[in-house]
Structure 1
Amino acid sequence: MCKFFLFYTCMMVLDCVCAHAKATADGTKSFILLLAALLRGIQDSHMRRKGSWSIRNLQNLANRLLAVSRKELDDVVTHKITPYASLYCSHHSYKLEGSVLDLLIGGYISGRVGIGQADVLKRVLSGFFHQVNQDQNAVETISFIHSNFSFLHTAVTGLPIGCSEVIEGLIVTCDWSVWTEPAGSVKALILFESFGDCLHRSESVMKQKLASLLDLLVHVVLSSVKQSESVLQWAQLNHVSLLECVDSAQLEFLSSISAVETLSHPPLQHLVMLNSCRRVQLGGHRYACLGMFSHSHTLVLCAPVLGLLDQTVCVSQGVFAMLQNLSESFCQTLASEQSQTPCLDQSQSALSSQDLWGGIMHTGGVLPIGGVFEFLLHYFLLNERNSSDPESFRLLAKALLCLPRTLYVYNHRRFLNIQTHFLDDLKEWDKTKEQESEMPELKFGFGFSESSAPGL
């Protein structure tokens, strides 16, 4: 029974972690560390009160912790941490280079990869977003990248991470079977079936199909299957570029982002216009690159070995999952505010939605990574005088310190020095918070240059 309970508990924790990671692409390690620290804190408290903690008491504590997290934590963050963070960001804004987006991306990446790798990825991912966005609705762009990341990136092994770049057009990871350099924009046929076998009874039908392509002025054929040798010969003779064995999902994605003309006769065929077709050389392999009129771009991620490449891809995908989660959170906040002010008309609502991300980028602030948020929440939980459950606040506050302590696991003295400086700054700020313009200089001591501090 005990083993079954332990197994069930582990599965429940794993499900919670996976659900959280899927929604935010962030906080998996923090989730586990916080849970472990909280359980240790409860156990220590139970041992100090030996004999007084029954299963019912533990159940009651669990319910109280849940109630605090649902009802009171938001108030602490809103009324204690947010004013402090806003003052901190305004005080240090002149020292921070780059946009809020760069700080968000940099903060997410820096906790997952090495410094050199983080610098490259921050530059490339920020550039990729701006290239795809093209001054359009940023919320929609983030959603587009997040939903279609598998089609918008290409992983290349055997090259340094510094070779990662953004290429205009969509890269297809196979080479042209028949290649003819096109001049300008071309009409392409997307094909999901074979033109037919070179048998006597079907050869005439196949020739008719191929001849119809010339009538339609098709100069490129994109096929999800391998075509017969006679089709390749026809393509060479008629200067038609042929790309075979393209992933069907990628062809469907290509159709979905293009102005498609569907032909009335089988097999399944769609006509799209491409503004360019070319070959690209990546890591010793030649691939096809299809230029779209919708300004699609491909994120090329490079790494010398497969394991590091997988990590780079995972982190890059996580960046856009994090941004998607952020934009969804702000959209939900905007919807909540509008439901409370029904006097807004439709045009005002649409304008607010369109300018939402711009507002986030221009007015938002980013706290530096390294434990700032955890120290802040720890301090304000311990000093919350209006709490209905001081014991739960104390347990949560103590557990929070496990995160910055883990960052400095090999230098405990440094952790203690940082904690001391931070708490001294907070106490100084508490004394002068009535005069917001006189915010004290914060030392923190996290070891980051304030002109390039990564953010979270």
Structure 2
Amino acid sequence: MESVVQTVGALEAVVLRAFGPHGGQVLFTRDTGQAMLSRSGVRILTALRLDNPLARIIVECASRHGVRTGDGSKSFILLLASLVRKIECTVCTDQKVSLSYTSRACSRARRLADELLSFSLHHLDDLLAVGVLPYTQSLMWEEVHAALPSLVQKLLSAFFHTRLSHNHCSFISRLLCEFLSNWTAKDNQPYSSLQFLNETWPALYTPVVGFPIDYSQLLEGQVIHRDFAMPSMLTALGPVKAIILTTSLHSKFIQTGETLEIKDKGNITHFSSSAESSLECVISNLCSLGVSVLLSSVKQSATVLALAAQMQISVVECISQEDLALFRHLSEATILYHLNLLCDHLNILWDFFFLCLRYVHIGFPDKQDLKPCSLVICGAGEGQTEQHVSAMQDAVRMLLITQQPPASAQPEKNSSIAPKHPPSPHNCVLTAGGTFEFLLSHALQNNSVPRHTDMISSILADSLLCLPRHIYSHKPLHFVQIQSKVVKCTHTCPMGSESSINLASECYTLEPGLESVFCKYQLLLAVLQCVSQLFRIDSVIHTCSRLKTIANISCKEEEREEEEEAKSAAIMWP
């Protein structure tokens, strides 16, 4: 138990300086000498070189939660440290357990961790329904299309305050809101649109190093991160027809690993001429179909490029699978089975310059319900640009988790907290700055729970307050003032009234933005599962094995062969 407390405390000291709206950035130096600057909890934790197996387990759990929800990895470590200390303090003050008996103390700590997890799985939904959800707001996704600041923009603004510089949070939140508005159809479900953006994210942005973040912008259409294999031959100003190739048009004379037996030179000449004539026929057929752009995922031969140039067909080769997948989705390409190709209409293509890079820019004029666009994300340095890209991707993941449809689940029959059919925390937002922790802690201390769980609810209520304490650590008086105002609102505002929903107007908080209730809910469950997993570890055994080098392996093989030869000689000897 002592090793768990020490390990969690060491990780807490690492992420604490970057936590909250006033947190700073962490500077790492890689082996190559390149500096990495970040406030992302996942990037900070994964950059650590950890030899302690307990620390690796904790970092793995926190990183897995951060990657899934896009947020909460630093809060994960801080809440975990608070819970571990509360469990240790409870075990130490227990008169029935003495610290001299390590096995008893560990058994008691393991039992408390399991009871905390069981309590949350059985009663947390009901506690949220009674003490938190009546004071939340529903995230109206239709407002993302409005010009005025919406709840989505406030949610993103508070999110970026913990990841980027405060001077750029409003600009980035507006830019991402416009990006989401273009990709979300008014009649479509926001969850499906966000899921599509999360899956195709590598093809939706273009990083540009050397410019400030204020130069970031949206480009209509799609940016394919490759240049033309030859100067563009396009002269039309209207829509053109393109074709996608996944294999080389020019078949190889012999494949790798095959053996060629030459009997007659005339056969080789005949094969070469027939291959070129068939290739010319294919290019001519493409030209007759009106194809003027050839998009290839593989590198085409010089013969294909020369024939395409003669037919004034532009070629873009070695396109990534992510870019091709996005193009297929947007173009709704038709499969031509006899050519094993994809073909469709698209807008005019042209070169687009990003400093010294040349990319292909494609437009889709037939999209009426959507406005496909690409993000151009700028940064002064490579590390800052990566930080901006990571923050935007995590924001999309956070919105995806918030908009996730609730799963149908049966209510707990033995739950003693009303109501029996609790509402879902999905799609709910709350004022940022510790409001969720204050409300849930108050609900744990004042709502009716089974008597045998009083100590468990007290441990959980006290541990939750560690997050707002760290947020207002620069001014501890604010912590007391805001906590008292939140508790006062729960008494003065009746549940279900319109005044109780808008808690932000009643409480003074440091952050004017919002935060996702469901992300907080997932964070608490993930931390409790990690605590239960840590206290189930009885001991850590360090093993030391001899390295198996090539020389050792070869020597052992030679010795084995000599032994086998000696045995066979002994058997054959008369």
Q: Contact conserved, 1:81 with 1:377, CA < 8 A, in 2?
A: yes
**Structure-2 separation of matches of 1:183 and 1:326:** 43
Q: Residue 152 of structure 1 aligns with which residue?
A: 204
Tell me the CA shift for residue 387 of structure 1: 4.7
Among 306, 311, 336, the alignment partner of 1:263 is: 336
**Structure-2 separation of matches of 1:62 and 1:232:** 66
Tell me the CA shift for residue 420 of structure 1: 1.9
Tell me the CA shift for residue 40 of structure 1: 0.9
Among 353, 373, 377, the alignment partner of 2:440 is: 377
Q: Secondary structure at the match of 1:119?
A: helix
Query: Which deviations, in whole Å up to 9, do the C-alpha atoms of 1:312-353 show, x marking residues without a partner?
Result: 11111111211221222xx225x569xxxxxxxxxxxxxxxx
Q: Contact conserved, 2:280 with 2:307, CA < 8 A, in 1?
A: no
Q: Residue 394 of structure 1 aligns with which residue?
A: 458
Q: Contact conserved, 1:103 with 1:366, CA < 8 A, in 2?
A: no
Q: Contact conserved, 2:214 with 2:378, CA < 8 A, in 1?
A: yes
Corresponding position: 1:203 with 2:276: yes
Tell me the CA shift for residue 65 of structure 1: 0.9
Tell me the CA shift for residue 264 of structure 1: 3.3
Query: Which deviations, in whole Å up to 9, do the C-alpha atoms of 1:361-390 show, x marking residues without a partner?
Result: xxx763232222122222332333445312
**Structure-2 separation of matches of 1:229 and 1:442:** 68
Q: Residue 242 of structure 2 aligns with which residue?
A: 188
From the superposition, tell whether residues 165 and 386 of structure 1 become closer, same or farther in structure 2 (CA, over 3 Å). Answer: same
Among 112, 115, 118, the alignment partner of 1:64 is: 115
Q: Contact conserved, 2:135 with 2:430, CA < 8 A, in 1?
A: no
Tell me the CA shift for residue 422 of structure 1: 2.0
Q: Secondary structure at the match of 2:406?
A: helix
Q: Give the letter aligned to residue 118 of structure 1.
A: C
What TM-score does the superposition give when structure 2 sets the normalisation length?
0.65
Q: Give the letter aligned to residue 238 of structure 2.
A: G
Corresponding position: 1:288 with 2:341: no
Tell me the CA shift for residue 63 of structure 1: 2.4
Tell me the CA shift for residue 428 of structure 1: 3.2
Corresponding position: 1:419 with 2:486: no
Q: Contact conserved, 2:435 with 2:486, CA < 8 A, in 1?
A: no
Q: Residue 377 of structure 2 aligns with which residue?
A: 301
Q: Contact conserved, 2:245 with 2:341, CA < 8 A, in 1?
A: yes
**Structure-1 separation of matches of 2:493 and 2:324:** 59
Among 177, 182, 185, the alignment partner of 1:126 is: 177
Q: Residue 354 of structure 1 aligns with which residue?
A: none
Query: Which deviations, in whole Å up to 9, do the C-alpha atoms of 1:283-335 show, x marking residues without a partner?
Result: 3322101223444221221112111111111111111211221222xx225x5
Q: Residue 554 of structure 2 aligns with which residue?
A: none
Q: Contact conserved, 1:379 with 1:423, CA < 8 A, in 2?
A: no
Q: Give the letter aligned to residue 194 of structure 1.
A: S
Q: Residue 242 of structure 1 aligns with which residue?
A: 315
Among 336, 340, 347, the alignment partner of 1:275 is: 347
Q: Residue 38 of structure 1 aligns with which residue?
A: 83
Among 114, 122, 140, the alignment partner of 2:165 is: 114
Q: Residue 131 of structure 2 aligns with which residue?
A: 80
Unaligned runs of 5+ in 1: 90-96, 338-359
Q: Give the letter aligned to residue 184 of structure 1.
A: G
Query: Which deviations, in whole Å up to 9, do the C-alpha atoms of 1:406-438 show, x marking residues without a partner?
Result: 2244x1xx1x21222123324433543459577
Q: Secondary structure at the match of 2:298?
A: coil
Q: Residue 93 of structure 1 aligns with which residue?
A: none
From the superposition, tell whether residues 365 and 45 of structure 1 become closer, same or farther in structure 2 (CA, over 3 Å). Answer: closer
Q: Contact conserved, 1:190 with 1:270, CA < 8 A, in 2?
A: yes
**Structure-2 separation of matches of 1:119 and 1:316:** 13
**Structure-1 separation of matches of 2:390 and 2:469:** 26
Q: Contact conserved, 2:472 with 2:478, CA < 8 A, in 1?
A: no
Q: Residue 301 of structure 2 aligns with which residue?
A: 228
Q: Secondary structure at the match of 1:72?
A: helix
Query: Which deviations, in whole Å up to 9, do the C-alpha atoms of 1:146-172 show, x marking residues without a partner?
Result: 121112222222221112112111111
From the superposition, tell whether residues 281 and 405 of structure 1 become closer, same or farther in structure 2 (CA, over 3 Å). Answer: same
From the superposition, tell whether residues 122 and 383 of structure 1 become closer, same or farther in structure 2 (CA, over 3 Å). Answer: same
**Structure-2 separation of matches of 1:442 and 1:332:** 29
Q: Contact conserved, 1:156 with 1:309, CA < 8 A, in 2?
A: yes
**Structure-1 separation of matches of 2:94 and 2:219:** 63
Tell me the CA shift for residue 131 of structure 1: 0.7
Q: Give the letter aligned to residue 127 of structure 1.
A: E
Q: Give the letter aligned to residue 262 of structure 1.
A: I
Tell me the CA shift for residue 218 of structure 1: 0.6
Corresponding position: 1:313 with 2:389: yes
Q: Contact conserved, 2:442 with 2:487, CA < 8 A, in 1?
A: no
Q: Residue 218 of structure 2 aligns with which residue?
A: 166
Q: Contact conserved, 1:191 with 1:221, CA < 8 A, in 2?
A: yes
Q: Contact conserved, 1:232 with 1:242, CA < 8 A, in 2?
A: yes
Q: Give the letter aligned to residue 393 of structure 1.
A: S
Q: Contact conserved, 1:221 with 1:242, CA < 8 A, in 2?
A: yes
Larger radius of gyration: 2
**Structure-2 separation of matches of 1:208 and 1:437:** 72
**Structure-2 separation of matches of 1:250 and 1:441:** 42
Is 116-125 or 45-54 further displaced after alignment? Answer: 45-54
Corresponding position: 1:178 with 2:231: yes
Among 71, 90, 102, the alignment partner of 1:26 is: 71
Q: Give the letter aligned to residue 283 of structure 1.
A: L
Tell me the CA shift for residue 113 of structure 1: 1.2
Q: Contact conserved, 2:91 with 2:108, CA < 8 A, in 1?
A: no
Q: Secondary structure at the match of 2:429?
A: coil
Q: Contact conserved, 1:172 with 1:287, CA < 8 A, in 2?
A: yes
Tell me the CA shift for residue 36 of structure 1: 0.8
**Structure-1 separation of matches of 2:183 and 2:504:** 39
